[in-house]
Amino acid sequence: MNLKNKNVFVTGSSGFIGSHLVERLVQEQANVTCFVKYNSKNSWGNLELLPKDFLSSLKIIPGDVRDIHILHKSLKDIDIVFHLAALIGIPYSYTNPRENFQTNVLGTLNILTAAQENNIQKFIHTSSSEVYGTPETLPISEFHPLKGQSPYSASKVGADKVVESFHYAYDFPSLILRPFNTYGPRQSARAVIPTIITQALTKDTLNLGNLNTTRDFLYVADTVNGFIKAAESKLTGKTIQIGTGKETSIQELVKKISKILNKEIKVNIENNRIRPNKSEVLRLCADASKAKQLLDWQPSISIDEGLERTISWIKENINNYKTNIYNI
């Protein structure tokens, strides 16, 4: 499916990945409607960081995925839905599990229902590598069992299964894309890479949690390319994950960032930054062979290059971060 002149709808468009996806969709000459969570300041989040000529081409609709009525109205004449809206903070999910399920599961059900009744052509749903928990085997394939090791991961498992059920029950044209740990410019400090970078730029000692866990870090441009290829493909009813197939520990991240900044960094372990023992996901590493085979997708940005790009952006925007608190 060629995206040029297609009417696309992006939930979570004001977020980190969402804003990068919107930027790419404009470049692909799609007609983009951005669904942003309503707030009294009328803030459009990361979308406001886009060039003015990009912003002027967007249709902005404030609302909440928990409200099915605004979704029904907003999806009229839409061809493709990219569903990225979610509460994503894992520590936040420990203290607010109900809100996680209302947004991530019921919100997904709401937009699926609205999309189905508006006869959209394709629905791309965003999953998370957290749905696997600590893996039984590595690298992780799409056939790996799902495990709700946190309220967040359980809510994402639930959302994925709701999407899956619409495909089987109603022959709904959906595809589940499961990115591993995306990072890059505009990411908030609730994620580990901007947490390390922002602290490293402003002080000599970092406050972190578990340094031994590993993640498969995927640069945001590669993640967005996965969304584009998923939308352009004829595939439906599939779950496809994207990642680099390489593990990087938090300790290794500190060393890499320290080297790029040419700065010696000390680390202080704070207990409140460590997940409950049974809830910690120890390792994540993707088998992305399915994405390569079905979408002709593969990552192009190395972790070192991606960190350099991210550090450069954060340096210019450091005042947007609260480096003296733990962002959950």
Average pLDDT, the chain: 97
pLDDT of residue 5: 97
pLDDT confidence bin for 85, thresholds 50/70/90 = very high
Is 269 contained in some domain? no
Q: Can you give the pTM of this predicted structure? A: 0.97
C-beta of residue 280 within 8 angstroms of C-beta of residue 274: yes
How do residues 55-77 score in pLDDT, each as one tens digit?
A: 999 999 999 999 999 999 999 99
Give me the pLDDT at residue 238, please: 98
**Per-residue pLDDT reduced to its tens digit, 285-313:** 999 999 999 999 999 999 999 999 999 99
- Which is it for the CA torsion 202, 204, 208, 210, positive or negative? positive
Q: Is residue 211 part of a domain?
A: no
Domains in the chain: how many in total? 1
pLDDT band at 328 (very low <50, low <70, confident <90, very high): confident
The predicted structure's pLDDT at residue 302 = 98
| Average pLDDT, integer, range 190-200 | 96
Lowest mean pLDDT among 53-57, 84-88, 222-226: 53-57
Burial label for 53, CB within 10 Å (0-12, 13-18, 19+), is exposed
Q: Is the pLDDT of residue 196 over 90?
A: yes
CATH number for the domain spanning 132: value is 3.40.50.720
Decide if pLDDT at 54 tops 90: no
Q: What is the mean pLDDT of residues 209-232?
A: 98
**Would you state the pLDDT for residue 323?**
86
Beta strands per DSSP E along 212-289: 214-215, 217-219, 238-242, 248-249, 266-269
Q: Mean pLDDT over residues 92-113, rounded? A: 97
Q: Is residue 31 a part of any domain in this protein?
A: yes
- Summarised one tens digit per residue, pLDDT across range 121-150 is 999 999 999 999 999 999 999 999 999 999
Q: Is residue 305 part of a domain?
A: no
Decide if 152 is catalytic.
yes
Q: Is 15 contained in some domain?
A: yes
Catalytic: which of 92, 94, 132, 152? 152
- Helix crossing, 250-261 with 192-202: angle to 10°? 40
pLDDT confidence tier of residue 214, bands split at 50, 70 and 90: very high
pLDDT at 324: 83
In a domain, 164, yes or no: yes
- State the residue range of the domain holding 99: 7-183+218-245+285-300
